[in-house]
Every structure is written in C-alpha cells, then in structure tokens.
Copies of this chain bind each other. A is one copy, B any other.
Amino acid sequence: MADIWLTSLITDTPQEGFELAITLSRRGVKYTQPDGEVLHKLRPVYANDADSLTAASQVVAINFQTVAAANGYWRK
C-alpha cells in the first residue's frame, strides 16, 4: 500500500479517537482483502447479522483501547 493513511494516533476528542479506531478496524480488513468491490458485496451480509456486528464492535473496542491510551484518555 503506497498511500499514507495513518500519521498519528492523537485526536482532539474521544469521539474522534473512536472514529479513528473504526478506521483502524476497517484497514485491518482491507490489508487482507484489498478489493473494494468484494468488501462492498460482503457488507450487507455482516451488517444484518447480529453476531457479525458484535464481532465488528469488538475489534473497534480493541483499537479504541490503543487510541485512548495514546491520548492519555483525553483526561485534560
């Protein structure tokens, strides 16, 4: 991958940090399946399956741990 998509883990607010965690989660998928069309086709499958959605939320939670720690939990 030639494009630069991640230059910092620091965000202004916890919500932006949460959104960065979502980006990280999707990038983790994209490195395994770079074909955007395939990903687009898979979307309706897992977006309508409760267990798939829980699993997706779990990956976000793990990445949010990293981003939150990087930001000192936005304590100030």
Contact = CB atoms under 8 A, between A and B. Distances in A.
Q: How many copies does the complex hold?
A: 6
Given A28-B56, A45-B50, A74 B9 contact: yes
A51 B54 contact: no
Contact of A28 (B10, B31, B33, B57): B57
Interface in A1-37: 1, 4-10, 13-15, 18-19, 22, 24-29, 31-33
Nearest to A18: B6
Interface of A: 1, 4-10, 13-15, 18-19, 22, 24-29, 31-33, 38, 42-43, 45-66, 68-70, 73-75
B63 A66 contact: no
